[in-house]
Every structure is written in structure tokens, then in C-alpha cells.
């Protein structure tokens, strides 16, 4: 992929300099059958920030994205994108945002280049077709019919279309789903570049590694609510780290210092701790003093995946503790 060019930078000619690019307050969305998919969420995304919305299947990510994109009207609460209501002031917002939906639908008989040209026709200041295709690594596929593209190539075409108007705010709903490992890396690189040029990016993803590596901040949703929000480091810092090792046969687990809350599975020991440096220090001093050789010693902080699985398992309970603060 080539570098994106001609970005709008961090300038804002519309008098909202310094304001949040996206502001969501007490947002609620209830579907016709009475199901509340978005249950009072609030968050904001600063200009030039890359924000990831994570959550279990059915958590309400897409329902939220659609409200931010102005595709539906909230039942309660407010949304501001670049200072405007994306639903009632659609004309003011739409030209300044790029949207990549979960399933882009384009006529499959057109070629890749024809599809881009068609969309460029109704986008003011659109990138040239060649440039848009080069950005997503599809330049060589310009003459191929859309229906002949692989799933991953279609995702890239979706992304090219979202980037056509050099958007200030980019909404990406699972941009790398269906991409192979290389395609995913390329997409990450491109999204990072766009962010570095000042584009505000809101993305949903099921790849926690993607969120961990790309996001400046993220929120994890569960059953229509935001359970935690923060930088990837903040979100994982709240979870316990883990120390694992195997004790020599001659040393029973009962000889470990009592202050270490260890779980033993035969000789395999696991310590879950929020004070990983302290506990590891204590363990190593004890091993040294007792002349015990710890085998397969491994210590690490929590990953975003662990934080996520924890929330998926205990979402309800955690939502209560977070909102109680």
C-alpha cells in the first residue's frame, strides 16, 4: 500500500477547533420489538484520536455506529459528530465523514475501477480512482469485476470508498474481518497513517490485538452498555497479572510464602496478582533463600484479551461496580 496523501491535517475550517470530533451522551436505541440494543452510553473521541469500540456479539457496537453515522435516530441521548447532529444535520456532517459498513453492497457487475469512479462522482473533492485503489493495495485489480473479488479484496474496496472524500472522521465497522494476516497488517498500517495525518477514527473490531496495537483509547461494550473505557494500558492495568512456574518434586506447594495467593495444580503453580512486581520479588527471594529451582517461570501483565473475556463472563456485575464509582 502507498501512503495516503493530501490529508486535511488537523485544521478545521468550520470553527470547532479543539472540540471533540465525536461526543456521545446517554445514548439509547431501542428496536421495534422493544429490545434495547444501546442502553445509555456516553463517550467522546478527540480530534485525531483512534478509538476502538469492542464488545461481545450483539453488544450493540453496530447499533451505536449507525447512530453516529446518522443512519438512525437515537431514542434518547445526544450524538455530535464534528459539532453537529449526524441525523438532523446530515448535510453538514456527511461530506466530512467516511463510512465503511460491515457489509458494503455494491453492484457486482461493475469493475473495481468503475465502482470507485461511480462513488467518486457523488463525492466532492474525491481522490483520483488510482490513488484510492493504491491506498488499499487494489491498483492491480482495477479492471476486475467486483463479483470476482475475494472477500478480503471486497473489504479493501469498501475501505477505498470510505476514504474517497478524504474524510475528517472515519467510521470503520470491522475493517479487517475476512482479511488474511498480511492484509490485516496493511490495513493497520494505512489506518495508522490516516490517524497520523489527523483523521479521527472510530473502529469496531473482534481482533483484540488490533485494538491493542491501534487504539489510543477504547471502550468495551456488553449488553448495550460500556463496561470499561480507557487506553489499552489502563484497561488491562485493572486486571491481575499472572505468574506461573513448576515446583521441584521435593518441594510441596505448602512451603510457598503464605502472602502469595497461589493456586496449585500438582506441581504447576499459578499466582494471579495485581502487584506483579512485588509478588514476583517475594517469590524470587524465597526461591533464592530456600535454594529452590523454579522451572518454566513466566510472569506477565494481563492482556486485552483477558480483560475482554473477563468482561464477557462477568459483564453485568462489572457494569454495576464501574457505574457505582
Q: Establish if 183 lies at the interface with ligand ATP (CB under 6 A).
A: no
Pair type for strands 262-265 and 268-273: antiparallel
3-state secondary structure of 280: helix
Q: Establish if 34 lies at the interface with ligand ATP (CB under 6 A).
A: no
Smallest distance, Å, CB 317 to ligand ATP? 20
Looking at 27-35, 176-184, 250-258, 281-289, which segment touches ligand ATP (CB under 6 A)?
A: 27-35
Q: Which of residues 192-251 bind ligand ATP (CB under 6 A)?
A: none
Q: Quick one: CA dihedral 302, 306, 312, 313, positive or negative?
A: negative
Q: Which of residues 91-110 bind ligand ATP (CB under 6 A)?
A: none
- Write the DSSP symbol of residue 95: G
The residue (of 57 and 124) whose beta carbon lies closer to ligand ATP is 57
Cell numbers given for 304? 486485552
Smallest distance, Å, CB 35 to ligand ATP? 5
Smallest distance, Å, CB 59 to ligand ATP? 4
Q: Establish if 35 lies at the interface with ligand ATP (CB under 6 A).
A: yes
Contacts of 290 (CB under 8 A, 6+ apart): 251, 255
The residue (of 72 and 284) whose beta carbon lies closer to ligand ATP is 72
Angle at 298 between CA 296 and CA 303, to 5 degrees: 145
**Binding-site member from 6, 11, 26, 31 for ligand ATP (CB under 6 A):** 31
Tell how many helices (H) and how many strands (E) occur in the chain. 10, 13
Q: Establish if 61 lies at the interface with ligand ATP (CB under 6 A).
A: yes
The residue (of 37 and 82) whose beta carbon lies closer to ligand ATP is 37
Q: Establish if 59 lies at the interface with ligand ATP (CB under 6 A).
A: yes
The residue (of 237 and 312) whose beta carbon lies closer to ligand ATP is 312
Q: What CA–CA distances, in Å, run from 45 to 82, 130, 157, 219? A: 10, 31, 26, 11
Q: Establish if 62 lies at the interface with ligand ATP (CB under 6 A).
A: yes
Smallest distance, Å, CB 64 to ligand ATP? 7
Q: Quick one: CA dihedral 218, 64, 316, 265, positive or negative?
A: negative
Contacts of 173 (CB under 8 A, 6+ apart): 61, 62, 65, 100, 101, 102, 203, 204
Q: Establish if 315 lies at the interface with ligand ATP (CB under 6 A).
A: no
**Binding-site member from 7, 40, 48, 58 for ligand ATP (CB under 6 A):** 58
Smallest distance, Å, CB 139 to ligand ATP? 30
Smallest distance, Å, CB 316 to ligand ATP? 15
171 class by beta-carbon count within 10 Å (0-12 exposed, 13-18 middle, 19+ buried): buried
Residues in the chain: 325
Query: What is the helix (H) or strand (E) element at residue 290, kind and residue range?
Result: helix 276-290
- Write the DSSP symbol of residue 223: T
**Binding-site member from 13, 18, 34, 57 for ligand ATP (CB under 6 A):** 57
Smallest distance, Å, CB 206 to ligand ATP? 6
# of chain residues touching ligand ATP (CB under 6 A): 12
**Binding-site member from 4, 60, 183, 232 for ligand ATP (CB under 6 A):** 60
Contacts of 110 (CB under 8 A, 6+ apart): 118, 145, 146
Please, what is the end-to-end C-alpha distance for the chain in angstroms? 45
Looking at 29-37, 107-115, 148-156, 313-321, which segment touches ligand ATP (CB under 6 A)?
A: 29-37
Angle at 280 between CA 275 and CA 283, to 5 degrees: 125
Positions that interact with ligand ATP (CB under 6 A): 31, 33, 35, 37, 55, 57-63
Amino acid at each position: 500500500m502507498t501512503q495516503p496523501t493530501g490529508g486535511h491535517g488537523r485544521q478545521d475550517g468550520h470553527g470547532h477547533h479543539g472540540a471533540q470530533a465525536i461526543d456521545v451522551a446517554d445514548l439509547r436505541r431501542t428496536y421495534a420489538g422493544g429490545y434495547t440494543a444501546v442502553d445509555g452510553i456516553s463517550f467522546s473521541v478527540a480530534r485525531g484520536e483512534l478509538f476502538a469500540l469492542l464488545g461481545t456479539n450483539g453488544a450493540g457496537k453496530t447499533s451505536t455506529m449507525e447512530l453516529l453515522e446518522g443512519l438512525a435516530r437515537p431514542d434518547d441521548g445526544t450524538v455530535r459528530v464534528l459539532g453537529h447532529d449526524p441525523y438532523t444535520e446530515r448535510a453538514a456532517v456527511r461530506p466530512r465523514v467516511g463510512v465503511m459498513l460491515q457489509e458494503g453492497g455494491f453492484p457486482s457487475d461493475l469493475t473495481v475501477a468503475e465502482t470507485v469512479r461511480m462513488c467518486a462522482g457523488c463525492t466532492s473533492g474525491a481522490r483520483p480512482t488510482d490513488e484510492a485503489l493504491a491506498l488499499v493495495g487494489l491498483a492491480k485489480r482495477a479492471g476486475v469485476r467486483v463479483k470476482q473479488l475475494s472477500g478480503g479484496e471486497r473489504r479493501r474496496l469498501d475501505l477505498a470508498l470510505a476514504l474517497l472524500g478524504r474524510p475528517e472522521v472515519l467510521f470503520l465497522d470491522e475493517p479487517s474481518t475476512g482479511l488474511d494476516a498480511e492484509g490485516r497488517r496493511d490495513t493497520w498500517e494505512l489506518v495508522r497513517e490516516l490517524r497520523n495525518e489527523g483523521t479521527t477514527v472510530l473502529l469496531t473490531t473482534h481482533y483484540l490485538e488490533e485494538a491493542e496495537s491501534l487504539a489510543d483509547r477504547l471502550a468495551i461494550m456488553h449488553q448495550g452498555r460500556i463496561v470499561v473505557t480507557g487506553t489499552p494500558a489502563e484497561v488491562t492495568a485493572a486486571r491481575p497479572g499472572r505468574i506461573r512456574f513448576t515446583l521441584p518434586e521435593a518441594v510441596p506447594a505448602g512451603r510457598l510464602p503464605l502472602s502469595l495467593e497461589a493456586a496449585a495444580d500438582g506441581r504447576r503453580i499459578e499466582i494471579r496478582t495485581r502487584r506483579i512486581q512485588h509478588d514476583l520479588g517475594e517469590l524470587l527471594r524465597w526461591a533464592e533463600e530456600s535454594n529452590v529451582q523454579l522451572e518454566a517461570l513466566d510472569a506477565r501483565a494481563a492482556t486485552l484479551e483477558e480483560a475482554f473475556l473477563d468482561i464477557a463472563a462477568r459483564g453485568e456485575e462489572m457494569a454495576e461496580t464501574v457505574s457505582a464509582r
